[in-house]
Structure 1
């Protein structure tokens, strides 16, 4: 029996929002997981709450482990500490399952629905959110490198679109309205601010026409009135979706009302944990596109069920990643497997820089398409060099 022998976690001071998990089993395999936000709390939950129950369990019984870790007593239905800890465990267990079978995770899940997956570039720059705080661009900010796309979309979105097209990307995501939310807690957006927020979208269309899809991210910063005003204004530029428009993305009635009153497709939500909120949103006719984050929703076990819901409601699926490299690899496996998946999110700045310092392998992207990993399991491992980085916090439970 391949029972769980060790849980080992890693945290870096330079990436305080991220935590990586390795699960060792008695058959000599090591599974890799990851989650994002509240890393220190997740570490405590993993070692003090989950490890005493997990150690000695059969690592093959993923469904049963998932059901236990996501019970109402500890999991709830939002993406809090317990759900994120359970997500990291589940991703690692599926990595182990793939390794044990000698196949990539998407094949262990039942095989691929497509040979490769379109990607879109989230224009986030090099360290969006990974330092523990949001990054908002001010007039004095300077680019940190050639892929500081968050500065680029605020200053010259047309040139940014041209740059992405030249690299084979056919879709991009930006969030120029975020800076106008704090003044009113997202409940008021003036006509001048609305016009300024629209300018990047117009510049993209002026520069490249319809050769690139553009998504608008609202980061759950807005109330119903301001979100509606933004969505209706975006109708003229043909956005592919508006993501997380309301400050409560489990608000079925509010999202359904917004969706009825605008022509732009509504996408949600990486912030939701577990199956039930997605069921309620789809049953309430509140979403056009289903987005999930495997490191936040419960891992592959819960994610494949959310994907099945998307299929049942005939809605496209788009795995999230603006967080870490293991989540990206996991999302790619889900996007390869899920019948209605249409995109995998990537951030070209992180793909080109610090993701490479963390893991051995990353998705291969050719002409805007992510290719399937060939190695067994997730197809990536933590780099040996990670263990030598200064300030690394390592904790084990055996």
Structure 2
């Protein structure tokens, strides 16, 4: 079997998402996806990677992965090269599963559990949906009209939101109320009034539901180290589960200092590409929960190495997802196949919303757990309507 064509698809409406389809002479097609900078990724795939992949055996996944990431510009980042390589890698694993008649989680070693706990990232229905990823002071706040406007809810009605999640069986949520002051002050300091306002959601959640809800705190790498430590101390009273990306993920020493300053777990990081920066941080005891986004860090091939390395340091693994539907499903396959997966990120505003406009199926999510995908490969495909969209851009490189 050999790769005969590489096809990319992107739309104007969902302009952050780009899909890759790997065609073979067997007639089987593998589907992959990545997120953000779709035009640049399209160029990388066709202008740089296609010439290195066309005509090759698509089942030599490890060799192809190494060749893509051995290019001079692809050096341990989540830049265009890594995002493009990630999409291709996910498509190759989808193809591998189809060739073998098995789901991807089986190809990765099989199920480690029958169901996987999830948490809800409290985004709204239009959060990162379209081309304009806005400043985190609003993130399309108050622009959505769906049933799950969870960003507006955590900023203004966090108590009611926590109760709503618990009613559906979800007992863990992620919020980021410190982003607006970080934008206002460029991450340099936080005033007493801003601190009080940002803490309000935590007060409301604990007053409404007590310790029934686990709270993850996302900081989006917006703070300097002294202010991040100040915020961490204040939030400890509310027993959060983890602090995620409190500072820029470019200094293992600084992150280690942060981790040593608090008893709350440090989670890092969707922003890291390849396994190498994770090792630098693990060696310094800088992270407790290892998070990776498979669409950005090198695909399933690199993701399973990151998870395995985390396990050697006795750290749990927690795949990131706040991107597109195929990436979400790829992360679920990874979660089930890794023995140290703690919890899977999910966004109910997405999997109950716009994801369903694009793909044929969604995973079963019930009572706070996701269940294994059925079918071969990833078990999902693009809806036929995607191929008929007037705003669709398709580019194809042939052998």
TM-score (norm 2): 0.97
What is the match of residue 116 of structure 1?
115
The 5 A counterparts of 1:96-111 are 96-111=95-110
Report SS of the residue matched to 1:262: coil
Contact in 2 for aligned 1:243/1:267 (Cα 8 Å): yes
CA-CA distance at 1:145 after TM superposition: 2.0
Q: Is 1:147 matched with 2:162?
A: no
Aligned counterparts of 1:62 and 1:307: Cα–Cα separation in 2? 18
CA-CA distance at 1:140 after TM superposition: 8.8
Contact in 1 for aligned 2:126/2:140 (Cα 8 Å): no
**Partner deviation per Cα, 1:84-118 (whole Å, 9 max, x = no partner):** 00000000000011111111101101112111111
Aligned counterparts of 2:250 and 2:69: Cα–Cα separation in 1? 18
Report SS of the residue matched to 1:267: strand
Contact in 1 for aligned 2:288/2:315 (Cα 8 Å): yes
The 5 A counterparts of 1:149-168 are 149-168=150-169
What is the match of residue 286 of structure 2?
286
CA-CA distance at 1:138 after TM superposition: 9.3
**Partner deviation per Cα, 1:310-339 (whole Å, 9 max, x = no partner):** 100011111011010001000001100111
* Moved beyond 2 Å, runs of 4+: 134-143
Contact in 1 for aligned 2:141/2:152 (Cα 8 Å): no
C-alpha change, 1:250 and 1:113, in structure 2 (3 Å) is farther
What is the match of residue 332 of structure 2?
332
What is the match of residue 68 of structure 1?
67
C-alpha change, 1:40 and 1:139, in structure 2 (3 Å) is closer
Contact in 2 for aligned 1:232/1:264 (Cα 8 Å): no
C-alpha change, 1:330 and 1:368, in structure 2 (3 Å) is same
Contact in 2 for aligned 1:137/1:151 (Cα 8 Å): no
Structure 2 residues not aligned, in runs of 5+: none
Aligned counterparts of 1:303 and 1:75: Cα–Cα separation in 2? 16
Aligned counterparts of 2:137 and 2:23: Cα–Cα separation in 1? 40
CA-CA distance at 1:120 after TM superposition: 0.6
Aligned counterparts of 1:152 and 1:42: Cα–Cα separation in 2? 34
Contact in 1 for aligned 2:124/2:141 (Cα 8 Å): no
Deviates more, 1:140-149 or 1:18-27: 140-149
Report SS of the residue matched to 2:177: coil
Report SS of the residue matched to 2:155: helix
Contact in 2 for aligned 1:18/1:36 (Cα 8 Å): yes
What is the match of residue 273 of structure 1?
273
Report SS of the residue matched to 1:93: helix
C-alpha change, 1:139 and 1:113, in structure 2 (3 Å) is closer
Report SS of the residue matched to 2:212: coil
Aligned counterparts of 2:160 and 2:372: Cα–Cα separation in 1? 30
Structure 1 residues not aligned, in runs of 5+: none
